[in-house]
Structure 1
Amino acid sequence: MSTAANPAPAFIDTHVHVWDLDGGGPFGVSYPWLGDHLPLLNRTYRLDELNPELDAAGVDAIVLVQAADSLAETDELLRVTAGSPRPARVTGWLPLNDAGATAAALRARSDADALVAVRHLIHDEPDPEWLLRTDVAAGMQVLADAGLAFEAVAEREDLLAQVPTVARRHPNLTVVLDHLGKPPLTGDLGRWRELLAAAAAEPNVVAKLSGLGTVSPQPFSAVDWQDAVDHAVAVFRPDRLMLGGDWPVALLAGSYSVTWQAGLDAIAGLDESARAAIRAGTAARVYRF
């Protein structure tokens, strides 16, 4: 809740990652998807490194997002959040395929007010229909009952197609679509447009304008994003959209400042109330700032 001493954020970056590859930090987190095949990302990235760029961009608040399917990383993100110089929230991980374990993990972290959402690396799951499993549905209902959101890394068409089913199954659960479902910005957007519209038709789904640099022509600018962003605005409306920088993954395509500015440029044609919703209003509501 904002007060005179703590005004509501004007710019919220809803998608920031940090990871420690020098022993995994105090909780010993490991990141199996990182390795020599990703040399730019295969090093430690701490919030201290990003803070000056957040300051320069005028970002008032952030959401730290999980990058490992482990409770250890959830606890690490909560630890980092506690030391952040700006308001921060956490999208962590919980064992959603076990409702009892999910409830127990939430009880064990009942004082962790920063934990407001949960994500699972569904795009790395061997089971392509993990999202639709009945055991996972039971875990998601625990989230819904606790007032937490679920973030879907629906980076493939088959996963994006499952988002409406999840949203209908849990009408009291906010489902956050990461990276606009990764539109194929160098190819045909037709099928993606259909799938995004179907997701947006469910009122409890919101989406992030994030992760677009890595699917853009290189070098990219807001022009490369405009068709996809305009479609997202049309089907979701601004009060269900938010900005995310996707640092440090975004560095594969461009600097933080270039990526963040491209997002702002892509919504520059909207009126001020719409821009304000995407810059911070939606995120403040979803992530409880």
Structure 2
Amino acid sequence: MIIDAHQHFWNLDRVAYPWLTPDQGPIHRTFEEGDLQPHLDACGVDGTVLVQSADSYEDTDFMLEVADRWPRVRAVVGWVPLTRPDEAAGALDRYRRDPRFAGVRHLIHDEPDPDWLLRPEVRDGLDLLAARELTFDVVAVLPRHLEHVPVLAERHPDLRLVIDHLAKPPIRERGWRPWADLLARAAAYPNVHAKVSGLNTAADWETWSAADLRPYVAHALELFGAPRLMFGGDWPISVLAGDYRKVWEETVKVLDGLGLDPAERARVLGGTAADVYRIPDPT
């Protein structure tokens, strides 16, 4: 089973996305399942993990509605107000009635406070996720965000943490540190996982190829191993720097060039996501 562990839908008529403004160009429009299905079919992708695009109940409710009508959505990573633990507890109990609700994400990179993840009330909110065996996706855009992952992993050893987009390595600048060292610190904790996703928009949008991604994916593979890495297409954000098929083909080219055996390849392209997000085998 091949699973894209990170993609989005948004409907501009249904949900407010404060970050999604007209200057975003080709992605400033509604994207739903009819737009994505041909790409999945062409690449042989069986299912996806639908990830939140706004810090709102409306976005989470919309994603679950899409999942109701489109079975290719195998899991949903939604949102609850982690800074309001009492409210969050009730929302989680309501959402968990749907077995596809697998975890939570918050757009921490839009928070003015770079240390938002370390707030005491957020800590209480993350405890709620751990107690309910839900995941937390970390949008680690700044080095400061990635610094917090080992702290969270130690505070919440029973919480499955997922670093989105390998924490956006400095591919365009051909940089390495501090990203590489911070990722290594995070990977030292067994409850931390990472997504090989969103790398094309971290590279040069016009010229990127598998060769640009390879050293960063190789580093992640050495640190996490295939059992803690998962592929994600980051569609439709990925449209800014190439279509779905290019992201799929270049990512697979990287993985094949790194010498993964069939079992390891299957882990990155679906098995890890199935385990982390508790996606049942369709058979």
- Give the alignment's TM-score, normalised by structure 1: 0.93
User: Which residue identity is paired with 2:276?
Assistant: V
User: Which residue identity is paired with 2:136?
Assistant: F
Paired residues, what number? 275
Shift of 1:155: 1.0
**Which 4+ residue blocks in structure 1 deviate beyond 3 angstroms?**
none
Shift of 1:109: 2.4
Measured in 2, the distance between the counterparts of 1:104 and 1:110 equals: 10
Shift of 1:70: 0.3
Deviations along 1:105-127, whole A, 9 cap, x unmatched? Answer: 02222421111010000011011
CA distance 1:266–1:162, change in 2 (3 Å):
same
The equivalent position to 1:247 in structure 2, one of 225, 232, 235, is 235
Measured in 1, the distance between the counterparts of 2:214 and 2:225 equals: 15
Within 5 Å, give how 1:114-129 maps onto structure 2. 114-129=100-115
The equivalent position to 1:205 in structure 2, one of 180, 185, 192, is 192
- SS of the residue 2:195 aligns to: strand
Higher mean displacement: 80-89 or 204-213? 80-89
User: Which residue identity is paired with 2:92?
Assistant: L
Within 5 Å, give how 1:1-289 maps onto structure 2. 9=1, 11-21=2-12, 23-24=13-14, 29-187=15-173, 188-217=175-204, 218-268=206-256, 269-289=259-279
Measured in 2, the distance between the counterparts of 1:238 and 1:92 equals: 25
- SS of the residue 1:68 aligns to: coil
- Give the alignment's TM-score, normalised by structure 2: 0.95
User: Which residue identity is paired with 1:116?
Assistant: A
User: Which residue identity is paired with 2:161?
Assistant: V
User: Which residue identity is paired with 2:278?
Assistant: R
- Please list every run of 5 or more consecutive structure 1 residues that lacks an aligned counterpart in the other structure: 1-8
CA distance 1:52–1:85, change in 2 (3 Å):
farther
Measured in 1, the distance between the counterparts of 2:88 and 2:253 equals: 40
Measured in 1, the distance between the counterparts of 2:217 and 2:132 equals: 32
- SS of the residue 2:145 aligns to: helix
Contact persistence 2:195–2:229 (CA under 8 A): yes
Alignment-derived partner of residue 3 in structure 1: none
- Please list every run of 5 or more consecutive structure 2 residues that lacks an aligned counterpart in the other structure: none
Measured in 1, the distance between the counterparts of 2:73 and 2:94 equals: 23
Higher mean displacement: 192-201 or 104-113? 104-113
Contact persistence 2:50–2:73 (CA under 8 A): no
User: Alpha carbon RMSD of aligned pairs, Å?
Assistant: 0.9
Contact persistence 1:13–1:63 (CA under 8 A): yes
Measured in 2, the distance between the counterparts of 1:136 and 1:35 equals: 28
